[in-house]
A = this chain, B = another copy of it.
């Protein structure tokens, strides 16, 4: 009943209008694993790192039930590095540096011990890599969720279209949904995207929350209104980790349970943005998570008696 997480484990250097980091640990699979491991263990990680990725970080992940057999360590290359600067609204950012390094050689091999996994989370990667992982699974996982981004729509659309037919749930942000569908209205965009393969679509709107579409059904979860967003890096991956962790824990892949997964994901993302990198995710306890989820209940809960 495990969860496979495929994605990057990397370094980021982040500038916001209020603060700045040197190189810190990041990467989509790192955030997914830190978030999901609160709900489900083991997590079976698939990634690639260079000689420079910290041993302590590997140990920290292991201690949270993250199996690293599928993480290739390349002894003579550096880990993937990204550097970016956020604008005042924290919703938009400029990329300053992208050093692919080991990511150029990423050709993941699914270890035999991962073969029975029921849940598969494909972080934002080249659709060819996402497809390769799905094809290596001898038994199709019960639920395959993927993230993607505008870069792949522009550079490798045929492969993206192919992998979209192989997954159950697609996650992307609002501008990516508009780009993929060529529709401005998110409701129309969802209709178009659901024709491309996935049965479920999650559109992430950052501080404006997230939408889940399935057939004619729609669910909306707000982001928690926060006094400060310190660093939004990894919030989308943390959301994915909370969502997948909840689904894998409950083993329930119904629309109704996905709604709850989205609330759990939103709660996890609201922690992520409170400090640089995955720092805050390492600190929080189950009690913190329960309290935060209760805040979401209070935020949207109302009684109504129809007129």
Contacts and interface: CB of A to CB of B under 8 A. Distances in A.
Interface of A: 38-39, 88-89, 184-188, 205, 208-209, 211, 217-222, 225-229, 249, 256, 259-260, 262-263, 286, 289-290, 293-294, 297-304, 306-307
A225 B249 contact: no
How many identical chains are in the complex? 2
Given A209-B222, A263-B304, A290-B306, 14 more contacts: A88-B184, A89-B184, A185-B227, A187-B225, A208-B208, A208-B209, A217-B298, A219-B300, A259-B301, A260-B302, A260-B303, A263-B302, A286-B307, A294-B306
Interface of A is mostly: mixed
B307 A218 contact: no
A225 to B, nearest CB: 5
A93 B258 CA distance: 37
A208 B174 CA distance: 12
Identify which of A219, A225, A226 gathers the most chain B CB atoms within 10 Å of its CB.
A225
Contacts of A306: 290, 293-294
Contacts of A39: 307
Given A187-B226, A208-B208, A211-B225, A220 B299 contact: yes
